[in-house]
Amino acid sequence: MKLLVIGSGGREHALVWKLAQSPHISQMWCAPGNGGIAGERLRGNNALVECVNIGAEDLPGLLAFAQEKKVDLTVVGPDNPLALGVVDLFQEKGLRIWGANKRAAQFEASKAFAQDFMERHGIPTARAKVFSEPAAAKAFVAELNGRCVVKADGLALGKGVLVCTSIQEADQAIDEMLVRKTFGAAGARIIIQEFLEGVEISLHALCDGKVAKLFPTSQDHKRALDDDQGLNTGGMGTYSPTPFATDAELEQIERAVLGPWLKGCATEGLDYRGLLYPGVMLTKSGPKVLEFNARFGDPETQVYLTRLENDLVELLEASVSGTLANIDLKWSSDAAVCVVMASGGYPGSYARGKVISGLAEAGALPNTKVFHAGTARRGHEVVTSGGRVLGVTARAKDLPGARDAAYAAVDKIKFDGAHFRRDIAARALRPGRS
């Protein structure tokens, strides 16, 4: 089989690495890929994965490439091409592609769509309303006493969510989005949710239009600095599984979230084939969905695929063809930890082109994989080319072991200004749910 993977981050490196282990694959491209993806080889025939210089949002370019190379399956990593309708376009042309179609991708592309859907189908979520007028929005914020989260409706590179603790702060957030239009069209409508207290976990479910197979739990670390201080980022590290969701809570999530979600999709004629990634807050009154994403999480993918024992090509094929019911997902009982190494200054501005050393030494450690996110190749060197640079991932029989192994690898890698959190998974190793 010939495969094309779309995207260029750590998530896509993890997808390529795992897909490359499948004996079904004879050739693989990644558009546009990164410095780490370019070094991956297929397990079946030792061929190198080729990076091709086509942007993830260049739909005509991607289509022409897939047609020219007679690609058998295209795998979409990021949310933007999904929201732009890459799946619909490929399918119209008779090409096989894995990912949510444009209607299904609305769960992520429009928070208002997702919120309304949850309310229509009784899925537990935060109390919320959708607004396009500042006055009405401010009245709702006053009702919530200012303890709320103001979110741009559309895709805003993970930046369109403002957590507020006072009426004044929330009013400013509303003005920012609806009056000053800082987020452009993405913020033309906003959704305001009550602020939920609890432990936040990431869930993933692979869907085939009929069934949804839930992954084990994982947890991301969104803030830039230790102890959840600093700015929100795309994710500074993950681990799996988490000790926070009990088996009873997971069953409750299957029953109260996935069940009504699948039923709702069927009722509304939404053919969801792809990955559903709900962000869930475990509150005192049970699990509540904060948002839906329509693709794999980054850096959740790095820990999930490190633990997955199935052939990923077979899983994605089953997701496309609607035959997932026949397959059991198999997970290693090992724990996995991913520590993100970022450029100094991220998520603000940062320098690029810094030479990275120690990659070979880190990669040679047992049960360790250094996934590249923002890297490029310059001659024989690998240099930084993005905010999140590497996802250093390790597996071990328990969480402390995986954490220690991931940090042992991190300690071998150097580049100017490298920044990473020292407390990935620390919360899981403390007693209690704090």
Task: Give the one residue of 175, 200, 226, 271 binding ligand AMP; rule: CB under 6 A.
Answer: 200
Q: Which residue is nearest to ligand AMP (CB)?
A: 291
Question: At residue 121, what is the residue type?
Answer: H
The nearest distance, CB 127 to ligand AMP, in angstroms, is 9
Q: Which long-range contacts (CB under 8 A, 24 or more apart) does 65-68 make?
A: 65/4, 65/29, 65/31, 66/4, 66/90, 66/95, 67/93, 67/95
Strand partners, 387: none
- The DSSP element (H or E) to which 138 belongs, if any, is helix 134-143
User: Residues 6 or more apart from 360 whose CB is under 8 A from it?
Assistant: none
The nearest distance, CB 240 to ligand AMP, in angstroms, is 17
The answer to whether 206 and 278 have CB atoms below 8 angstroms apart is no
User: Residues 6 or more apart from 19 whose CB is under 8 A from it?
Assistant: 3, 5, 25, 28, 75, 312, 313
Judged by CB, which is closer to ligand AMP: 31, or 148? 148
The nearest distance, CB 170 to ligand AMP, in angstroms, is 12
- The residues in 285-304 that bind ligand AMP, with binding defined as CB under 6 A, are 290-291
DSSP state of 356: P
Judged by CB, which is closer to ligand AMP: 193, or 343? 193
Residue 50 found at the interface with ligand AMP (CB under 6 A): no
The nearest distance, CB 291 to ligand AMP, in angstroms, is 3
- The residues in 203-222 that bind ligand AMP, with binding defined as CB under 6 A, are 222
- The DSSP element (H or E) to which 407 belongs, if any, is helix 399-410
Residue 126 found at the interface with ligand AMP (CB under 6 A): yes
Stretch binding ligand AMP (CB under 6 A), from 15-23, 101-109, 189-197, 251-259: 189-197
Residue 110 found at the interface with ligand AMP (CB under 6 A): no
d(CA 260, CA 400): 36
Residue 151 found at the interface with ligand AMP (CB under 6 A): yes
Stretch binding ligand AMP (CB under 6 A), from 19-27, 191-199, 331-339, 348-356: 191-199
Task: Give the one residue of 193, 238, 242, 319 binding ligand AMP; rule: CB under 6 A.
Answer: 193
The nearest distance, CB 51 to ligand AMP, in angstroms, is 29
The answer to whether 239 and 219 have CB atoms below 8 angstroms apart is yes
Residue 79 found at the interface with ligand AMP (CB under 6 A): no
Residue 196 found at the interface with ligand AMP (CB under 6 A): yes
d(CA 47, CA 40): 8
Hey, CA dihedral for 6, 10, 16, 18, is it positive or negative?
negative
The residues binding ligand AMP (CB under 6 A) are 126, 149, 151, 161, 163, 193, 195-196, 200, 222, 279, 290-291
